[in-house]
Amino acid sequence: MPAPRSRKTAAGASRAAAKRNPRPAASAGRDPKPVAPAKRDPKPATPAKRDPPSKTPPRKEPPKREPGAAARASAPPTRARRAAGPAPATPRQARRAEATERAARESAQRVHDAAPALPENIALVLQGGGALGAYQAGVYQGLFEAGIAPNWIAGISIGAFNTAIIAGNPPDKRMAALREFWDTISRPNIFPATTFGQEARFDGIDADTRAWLDTWEAWRALIEGQRGFYQPRAWLGPDPSLWAGGQPGPAAASFYDTSPMIATLERLVDFDRLNDGGIRVSVGAVNVRTGNLEYFDNTQMRLDARHILASGALPPAFPAIEIDGEFYWDGGLVSNTPLSQVLTASPRRDTLVFQVDLWNARGEPPQNLLDVAERQKEIQYSSRTRLITDTQRVFQHYRRLLRELLEEIPEDVRASNPWAQHAAELACDRRYSVIHLIYRDRAKIGHFKDYQFGRVAMREHWLSGQGDIARALSHPDWLQLPQGESAFVAHDATAP
């Protein structure tokens, strides 16, 4: 049969040629090792002189400056401000990281080319959401690379932790500190990470296998805890006071011990800088006794690791944190976003707000009990952010309307009439622009997505944040305050 013999001869010739001209090892059945782009240097390359002056006075009464001078570095080369995000571990992640990075460079260049006059007050508002908080780190990286430096950061729960890391480090070290923080808490507390540093082997796996991986990582978070964050109290042994029928007390009435996070914050955060470094910091927590949401603000008190940890003390997993004789739980029990705190602060100022949400209020009807648990969290912790922005838009419209009406009243009447004086206190002609980012990409891991701290998921969250802020910054006009009769505008940067 000549045909088969011909094929066999051709195959033999091919093998002989292969022996004479061997191919590189990378093509011999193994994926080539991805080479990270040279521009993704893990060390922040930002010179200190390009960032807002470190001698900026505390935020109690900020001095008058030219618009945008306190918020945007004037140094031009965008590449010099680039910081390291999570290093890609696989060819697929490398391609995605490269595309995200390219979009970030283009968006940052658009911002520099447009050179918008940013308002004096730029606020970064960070919602709570546990492991999903790596998304916020990616968003901040995009702002950092574009030269946009918020001078007010407000956070709740994991948003408060990110707030402390950013405000408690000099500008040229913030990205490195964020990387170290998330690298630490994404490791299980006892045994090595599931991926053993070989995330490449878990990239591109099918949906069912990935679901098992996510479930396994969440189970480990429950059983082992997370390094530098929390550990199960069972590993610490029983409390001797309980043997005699005693009560653990509010500081120990929890499944986990969070003292490791105190050590992590004190290691990564310079609290002297956080309190005096020129960035206003506000973190929210719930007073256990009164049930009221309170904000710890560095313009009113000196903050330490306890204030940050109190904002993320979600019961019954984590214990209440005692501060000045009162005990506090996670601020998300009342409101998971500090947006209202920023928009209603007095005195009012023209403000550009980056609102970074980790929970999407909109979603599909659940099909099973696990879907029900996930959808419940999404609705509960999204904290009606859209309602807040809509309400504030109406309030600001009325404040400006009142201001315009007062201009029609004679000055002597305004000075003597108590109602006119009260109206003047309520009136306001300030303008607000809110850029709203909601984590949608790869956010549907399951009902445990807020405590699934696996390293594969953490990298995905981070890159999603980078991609979303790049899309937002591709509209430099959004950085401008509203003009005309409108005094409040909101942009949905991640709308499908």
How far is residue 466 from each of residues 96, 97, 126, 226, 390, measured CA to CA in Å? Answer: 11, 9, 15, 24, 27
The mean pLDDT value for 37-52 works out to 43
Task: Decide which of 71 and 231 is more confident.
Answer: 231
As given in the structure block, the two tokens for residue 407 are 């201009």
Q: Please state at what angle helix 418-426 crosses helix 385-407, rounded to 10 degrees.
A: 140
* Rounded-to-integer distance, Cα 336 and Cα 123, Å: 17
Binned at pLDDT 50, 70 and 90, residue 236 comes out as low
The mean pLDDT value for 302-319 works out to 97
Lowest mean pLDDT among 103-107, 154-158, 470-474: 103-107
Task: Decide which of 445 and 424 is more confident.
Answer: 424
Domain boundaries, the chain: 121-191+217-492
For the question of residue 330 being annotated catalytic, the response is yes
Determine the pLDDT at residue 110: 66
Q: Which of 51, 172, 297, 330 is catalytic?
A: 330
Determine the pLDDT at residue 299: 95
Question: How does DSSP assign 314-344, residue by residue?
Answer: -TTTS--EEETTEEEEEGGGT-S--HHHHHT
As given in the structure block, the two tokens for residue 20 are 């004479």
CB-based burial of residue 196 (10 Å sphere; 0-12 exposed, 13-18 middle, 19+ buried)? exposed
Lowest mean pLDDT among 54-68, 193-207, 295-309: 54-68
Determine the pLDDT at residue 97: 63
Binned at pLDDT 50, 70 and 90, residue 414 comes out as confident
Instruction: Look up the pTM and report it.
Output: 0.77
Determine the pLDDT at residue 62: 42
* Rounded-to-integer distance, Cα 378 and Cα 394, Å: 26
- With a cut of 60, say whether residue 56 has pLDDT above it: no
- With a cut of 70, say whether residue 244 has pLDDT above it: no
Binned at pLDDT 50, 70 and 90, residue 439 comes out as very high
Q: What is the DSSP letter of 474?
A: T
Give percent above pLDDT 70 in the chain. Answer: 72
What's the pLDDT tens digit per position in 350-396?
A: 999 999 999 998 888 999 998 899 999 989 898 777 788 888 888 88
CATH architecture of 121-191+217-492: 3-Layer(aba) Sandwich (3.40)
Q: 148: closest CA among 186, 178, 107, 189? A: 107
- With a cut of 90, say whether residue 465 has pLDDT above it: yes
- Mean residue pLDDT of the chain comes to 80
**Residue 228 contacts by C-beta under 8 Å, 6 or more apart in sequence?**
184, 185, 187, 260, 261, 263, 264
* Rounded-to-integer distance, Cα 440 and Cα 367, Å: 19
Determine the pLDDT at residue 342: 93
Q: Strand pairing partners for 153?
A: 124, 281
- With a cut of 60, say whether residue 459 has pLDDT above it: yes
Q: Please state at what angle helix 91-114 crosses helix 134-146, rounded to 10 degrees.
A: 40
Question: Do residues 478 and 472 make contact, with C-beta atoms less than 8 angstroms apart?
Answer: yes
Task: Decide which of 66 and 273 is more confident.
Answer: 273
* Rounded-to-integer distance, Cα 225 and Cα 281, Å: 28
* Rounded-to-integer distance, Cα 286 and Cα 51, Å: 34
Q: Strand pairing partners for 189?
A: none
Number of H-type helices and E-type strands within the chain: 16, 11
Q: Strand pairing partners for 295?
A: 284
Q: 60: closest CA among 165, 168, 152? A: 152
The pair phi, psi for residue 311, each rounded to 5°, is -65, -20
Most confident of 182-186, 193-197, 417-421: 182-186
Q: Which of 157, 311, 335, 433 is catalytic?
A: 157
Give percent above pLDDT 90 in the chain. Answer: 45
* Rounded-to-integer distance, Cα 55 and Cα 144, Å: 19
Q: Please state at what angle helix 174-185 crosses helix 259-268, rounded to 10 degrees.
A: 160
Determine the pLDDT at residue 53: 45
Lowest mean pLDDT among 82-91, 141-150, 208-217: 82-91
- With a cut of 50, say whether residue 325 has pLDDT above it: yes
- With a cut of 80, say whether residue 452 has pLDDT above it: yes
The mean pLDDT value for 27-49 works out to 42
Binned at pLDDT 50, 70 and 90, residue 261 comes out as very high
Helix (H) or strand (E) holding 257: strand 256-257
Provide the 10 A C-beta neighbour count for residue 260. Answer: 19
Determine the pLDDT at residue 6: 43
